[in-house]
């Protein structure tokens, strides 16, 4: 079954909240945070993760509108992977050039952001295209809804 809008939003929030959190916990101490303590590094990565979840709901609304022009109302799997580019660029702009997400003193270096965002995104994408189908067998038949 094609994932519904509510299913995609629920899946995004759940998987980013669980898998994204696990990736952040493991990766944050290893990131080159240039002058930030480990505690500040966790504050940065977890705040960015929350922002990715919140902004992601907006992305899902946009993607839903765009998908209405496709005959099957869904993206090919590769499109889901390639969205790392536009979502990553928007988050980088929000993190680096505004104070919406982080105050000026807690801005991560580009390399740290890129590594964290890429590892999180790939982990989430791989999980949604594999293990979630084993852990939540009805997920696929419920339009991607978790609840």
Question: Region 38-50: what's the mean pLDDT?
Answer: 95
Query: Average pLDDT, stretch 1-26?
Result: 92
Residue 124 reports pLDDT greater than 70: yes
Of 28, 95, 97, 17, the closest CA to residue 57 belongs to: 17
Whole-structure pTM value: 0.92
Contacts from 81-87 at CB under 8 Å and sequence distance 24+? 81/125, 83/59, 84/117, 84/118, 84/121, 84/122, 84/125, 87/52, 87/55, 87/56, 87/59, 87/121
Is the pLDDT reported for residue 70 higher than 80?
Answer: yes
- Token pair belonging to 35: 């002058």
| pLDDT confidence bin for 35, thresholds 50/70/90 | confident
Residue bearing the bigger pLDDT, 9 or 74: 9
Contact in structure between 36 and 103 (CB atoms under 8 Å): no
- 76-115, pLDDT tens digit by residue? 888 889 999 999 999 999 999 999 999 988 999 999 999 9
CB neighbourhood size of 107 (10 A): 18
Residue 18: band (very low, low, confident or very high) from pLDDT cuts 50, 70, 90: very high
Nearest Cα residue to 85 out of 107, 117, 46: 117
What pLDDT score does 45 carry? 96
Total Cβ atoms within 10 A of residue 64: 16
| Structure tokens given for 68 | 């209405």
Q: How far apart are CA 134 and CA 96, in angstroms?
A: 38
pLDDT category at 120 given cuts 50, 70, 90 is very high
Positive or negative, the Cα torsion across 131, 137, 141, 147? negative
The pLDDT of residue 1 is 61
């Amino acid at each position: 079954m094609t994932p519904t809008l509510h299913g995609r939003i629920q899946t995004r929030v759940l998987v980013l909240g669980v898998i994204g959190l696990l990736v952040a916990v493991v990766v944050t101490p290893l990131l080159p945070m240039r002058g930030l303590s480990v505690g500040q590094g966790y504050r940065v990565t977890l705040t960015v993760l929350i922002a990715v979840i919140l902004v992601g709901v907006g992305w899902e609304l946009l993607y839903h509108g765009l998908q209405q022009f496709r005959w099957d109302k869904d993206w090919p799997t590769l499109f889901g992977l390639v969205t790392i580019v536009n979502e990553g660029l928007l988050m980088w702009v929000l993190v680096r050039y505004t104070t919406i997400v982080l105050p000026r003193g807690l801005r991560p270096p580009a390399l740290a952001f890129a590594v964290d965002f890429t590892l999180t995104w790939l982990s989430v994408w791989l999980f949604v295209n594999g293990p979630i189908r084993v852990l939540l067998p009805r997920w696929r038949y419920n339009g991607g809804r978790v609840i």
